[in-house]
């Protein structure tokens, strides 16, 4: 039995794990509007370069804490991708979303730095 990976291509809403400069609420509001759903979040995997640079390897056993943002439309997703630029690719990852009194693992996406783009 073949299980399709989630989130599927063009599946909305979709959770994005956001970290680094994109976490700035004013940047997110300018890109996506003021009516955003986001929560504190963790992924297991990924690493930072220096103090704040984006993840290179989502499979590494390092926890990164930032936010989970629910992207509602293809247009919003396109805005996020354009902001991040060509140095990043979008990859699937499990996101642990922390709500007020509980946490929940959801399938989602994050931006991964492409090594070749920085070499």
pLDDT digit string (tens) for the chain, length 119 residues? 777 888 988 899 999 999 888 888 899 999 999 888 889 998 866 544 333 344 444 444 345 558 999 999 999 999 999 999 998 999 999 999 988 888 899 999 999 888 665 55
Q: Residues 6 or more apart from 104 whose CB is under 8 A from it?
A: 96, 97
Q: What is the pLDDT of residue 30?
A: 93
Indicate the pTM of the whole model: 0.79
Half-sphere exposure of 23 (CA within 13 A, CB side): 15
In angstroms, the Cα distances linking 66 to 2, 5, 27, 61, 117 are: 32, 23, 15, 16, 24
Q: Residues 6 or more apart from 26 whose CB is under 8 A from it?
A: none
Nearest to 13 by CA among 43, 37, 42: 37
Q: What is the pLDDT of residue 37?
A: 86
Q: What is the pLDDT of residue 5?
A: 85
Question: Domain 14-118 carries which CATH code?
Answer: 3.10.490.10
The domain locations on the chain are 14-118
């Amino acid at each position: 039995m073949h299980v399709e990976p989630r989130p599927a291509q063009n599946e909305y809403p979709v959770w994005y794990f956001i970290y680094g400069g994109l976490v700035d609420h004013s940047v997110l509001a300018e890109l996506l509007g003021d009516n955003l759903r986001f929560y504190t979040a963790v992924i297991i995997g990924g690493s930072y370069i220096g103090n704040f640079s984006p993840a290179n390897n989502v499979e590494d056993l390092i926890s990164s804490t930032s936010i989970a943002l629910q992207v509602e439309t293809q247009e919003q997703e396109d805005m996020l991708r354009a902001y991040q630029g060509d140095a990043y690719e979008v990859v699937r990852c499990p996101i642990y979303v922390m709500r007020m009194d509980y946490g929940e693992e959801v399938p989602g996406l994050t931006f991964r730095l492409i090594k070749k783009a920085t070499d």
